[in-house]
Structures are given as C-alpha cells and as structure tokens.
C-alpha cells in the first residue's frame, strides 16, 4: 500500500477499515479533559470489553441464586466453564482443543511445565533463552536450574543479537544449537520478544532444536492474540501465556498453557499434581490415587477462578467473530503506516529496534530515543498518549487492530515530533 503523510489519508483509512466497529466493543480510557486517549499500551494491559460486566454479572447471579449448585446448573455451569473456552483459545494459538488448558498465571504455568519438561542429566542440562528476556522468565529458569543442582553461570545459555544489531538472527540460534545442542535440555524463547517486538521464526528453531533432541517451550505473553501461531503444526513441546495483554482479559487474568498432543498420555512424566488435573470420570470419587486426565488438562491443579474466566470469555467472543487473519492484516497495516510516518519524521534521535520485515513483528514497534529519559513518556501522557517505557531509552508503541485507529497513529507521530522538537520539553535531549 502507498501511504501519505497527511491526516486526510488516515481519516480515509479509518473510513475504509472493516474492523472499525470493533473499537466500540471496548472502553477507551479518557484524559483529564474527558477526551478519548490514544492507547498504545495493549502490549502491557489490554482494554476492557464493554461486555465484561455482563459476563461477570452472570457468574455473580449464579453464585447469588444457586450457591454451590452453580457448579452444575445455570447457563454456564462452573465445572465446565474452562473447557467451554478451550476451542476459542485453541484457535488463537494454533492448537487442538485437547492441547490447551486455561489455568493459573504465566510464571506458575512455566514452573509446572519445567517440572515435566526440564529433566537435566549430567551431559544434557543447559537451558537456552534469548537476551534480553523478560525478567520473570529468567528468574524461573534460574531457580529451576538451581533446584536441580546446577550452576546457572554454566547451565544458562543466552543468545544475543550481534554487535550493533538489536534483533537475533535465526541462523545464529541454529548455529548455537549445532554447537551446544548435545548439552541443551530445553530451549525456552519468547515467541515475540517483549522488548524489541521481534517475532521469531519458530518452525525453523523447533526443527533444529528437535534435531539435537532438545525440548522447545515458548512464552507467548507477547504473541498470543498478537501474531498468527501454529503450536501444533510447529511441533512445539509446550507453551505458556498470559491473557491480560493482547487478549484483553483484565489485570492479572487467568493464563493459558499448551502441551502437544504427543504427550497426551505420557503419564510417566514427572508433574506436580492436584485434584482438578485428575480424570473427570473419577475426580469426584475422592480416591487416594491420582489418575491424570489425558492431554493438557492433566496438568491442572486447582479449580479455576470463574470470575476471571468470565472476563476472558467476553474477550474470546470478540476474537471469535473477527478472527486472527483479519486482525493480523490490520495490525500489519497499522504498524507499516506508523513506520512510514516515523521514517519521514526526519529525527535522527529516533531509531527502530523492531524488525523492519512485517512478518517478523506483531503489533508493537519499539523506538529507541537517543539521549532521552522518561520525560518523553511523561510528555506523551500529558498529551493523552499512553505507551510504555523500558530502560534505558525505549518506548514501546503498540497500535492494536481491535481498537486503535489510523488517525491515532498519525496524531501520535505528530505529538512525538512536537515533543522532540521542543527546546524546553525535555531534560536530556539535545
């Protein structure tokens, strides 16, 4: 598509946008003056669907009127609530229904998966992660290494971008696997890197890792609901994700987990168990011996938070009607338009650390602002623009196809240009 720099073009794009009406399905935060903000922070916390209150009220009504019988009665009995959402979630992450389970929170699920899938031996004990990695993943991986009696200084491998580059080349990951694969037990990557927004070439990485008998796990925190995923077809061993970012299920929302169907009846895998992971046929017999449910559901421990599931259900219904294919198409257009405008801002202090190739990124563009501090973000907030900051000088901007407009992209760039050109607006910018 050929973009233009005038606001009229953005208005035309909004008028032609087939997904424009979905904005009305979300509450848009307002500024202190009562105007709708420009909310480019969905990579941190998605917005609230307007139907969430109704979905939660249905659960509250059942609790109020049925008490414990709400588990088995009503329009959406709680005992089946989680299972009812699995088909929609599976379509978002490219999995089979049996491979998906909705439970816990991301890092808890990561630990549960590593209990089963990180089984180090004296010769194969290392874990490969990307750098930079989200700190929680590093903490979890480090603690697992230490739990098994190994030294993270030796057992933790980090693949980094080449000097002078911001993203990691696939061939460098493959080369490291060829070099160290015999000693690597687990490859754990964020499918989309939290800082740079790079969308890794998962299929190539999985194929090379499996060639060296390495287990592959993915953190989909910045990928689920953002980019097209095919966990089953890629033959990923396991994956975990949160649902409060691109999937808009609310702060601290219940999370998701994927276990490939090849492990559906691998009951000999070590796992931490709880009664909700027991076979539904015998779960309520209260037997003393644990009989796991086949497939991903067998990793459950406790019954899920129904109120959190209700908020997730509201958002999943929106995803179901629009579909990831259409979301992806608009996402790529929004980001390419943002990139186009930034390139023509002609400010040498702005540089991209996100891949230029639209296939290697999702909704997020990360911008490095030379010699800047959080004053830039503060000034954006004062202008009603919400994105976020990562030290030392990165602004993460995430135009979301479900609720953001092309005119918002245009206005953001104009506001950023004004802030950077202001002689008094910043404390450290030249």
Q: Evaluate if residue 424 carries a pLDDT over 70.
A: no
So what's the pLDDT on residue 425? Answer: 42
Find all residues with CB under 8 Å of 258, minimum gap 6, and list them: 93, 95, 99, 100, 231, 236, 238, 239, 240, 296
pLDDT band at 227 (very low <50, low <70, confident <90, very high): very high
So what's the pLDDT on residue 280? Answer: 83
CB distance 47 to 26 below 8 Å: yes
So what's the pLDDT on residue 422? Answer: 82
* CA-closest candidate to residue 144, choices 231, 217, 223, 195: 217
Segment 182-194 shows an average pLDDT of 98
So what's the pLDDT on residue 32? Answer: 87
pLDDT band at 240 (very low <50, low <70, confident <90, very high): very high
CB distance 5 to 344 below 8 Å: yes
Read off the pTM.
0.95
CB distance 279 to 248 below 8 Å: no
Segment 337-356 shows an average pLDDT of 94
pLDDT tens digits along 267-288? 999 999 998 999 888 888 888 8
Segment 184-194 shows an average pLDDT of 98
Second CATH level (architecture) for the domain 7-47+323-421: Alpha-Beta Complex (3.90)
pLDDT band at 429 (very low <50, low <70, confident <90, very high): very low
Does the domain at 55-320 match CATH 3.40.50.300? Answer given as no
So what's the pLDDT on residue 388? Answer: 92
> What is the distance between the terminal CA atoms of the chain, rounded to a whole angstrom?
35
CA 308 remoteness from chain centre:
17
* CA-closest candidate to residue 312, choices 105, 64, 12, 62: 105
Q: What are phi and psi of 178, to 5 degrees?
A: -65, -35
Domain boundaries along the sequence of the chain: 7-47+323-421, 55-320
């Amino acid at each position: 598509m050929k973009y233009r720099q005038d606001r009229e073009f953005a208005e035309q794009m909004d008028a032609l946008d087939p997904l424009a009406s979905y904005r009305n399905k979300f509450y848009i935060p307002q500024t202190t003056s009562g105007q709708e903000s420009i909310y480019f922070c969905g990579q941190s916390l998605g917005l609230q669907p307007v139907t969430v209150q109704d979905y939660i009220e249905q659960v509250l009504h059942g609790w109020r009127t049925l008490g414990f019988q709400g588990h088995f009665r009503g329009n959406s009995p709680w005992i089946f609530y989680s299972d009812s959402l699995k088909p929609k979630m599976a379509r978002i992450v490219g999995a089979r229904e049996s491979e998906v389970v909705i439970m816990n929170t991301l890092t808890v699920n990561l630990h549960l998966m590593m209990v089963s899938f990180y089984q180090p031996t004296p010769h194969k004990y290392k874990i490969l992660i990307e750098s930079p990695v989200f700190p929680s993943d590093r903490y979890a991986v480090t603690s697992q290494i230490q739990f098994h009696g190994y030294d993270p200084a030796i057992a933790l491998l980090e693949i980094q971008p080449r000097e002078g580059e911001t993203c990691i080349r696939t061939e460098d990951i493959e080369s490291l696997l060829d070099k160290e694969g015999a000693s690597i037990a687990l490859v754990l990557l964020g499918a989309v890197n939290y800082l740079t927004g790079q969308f890794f070439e998962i299929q190539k990485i999985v194929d090379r890792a499996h060639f060296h008998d390495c287990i592959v796990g993915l953190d989909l925190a910045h990928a689920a609901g953002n980019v097209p995923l095919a966990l089953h077809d890629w033959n990923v061993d396991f994956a975990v994700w949160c649902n409060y970012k691109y999937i808009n299920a609310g702060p601290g929302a219940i999370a998701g987990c994927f276990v490939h169907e090849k492990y559906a009846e691998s009951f000999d895998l070590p796992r931490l168990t709880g009664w909700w992971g027991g076979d539904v046929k015998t779960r309520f017999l209260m037997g003393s011996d644990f009989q796991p449910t086949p497939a991903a559901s067998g990793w459950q421990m406790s019954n899920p938070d129904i109120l959190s599931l209700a908020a997730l259900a509201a958002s999943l219904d929106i995803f179901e009607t629009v579909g990831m294919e259409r979301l992806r198409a608009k996402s790529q257009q929004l980001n390419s338009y943002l990139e186009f405008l930034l390139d023509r801002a002609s400010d040498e202090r702005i540089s991209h650390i996100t891949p230029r190739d639209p296939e290697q990124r999702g909704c997020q563009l990360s911008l490095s602002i030379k010699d800047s501090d959080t004053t830039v973000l503060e000034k954006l907030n004062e202008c009603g623009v919400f994105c976020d900051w990562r030290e030392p000088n990165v602004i993460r901007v995430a135009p979301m196809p479900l609720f953001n407009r092309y005119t918002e992209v245009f206005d953001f760039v104009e506001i950023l240009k004004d802030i950077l050109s202001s002689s008094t607006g910043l404390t450290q910018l030249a």
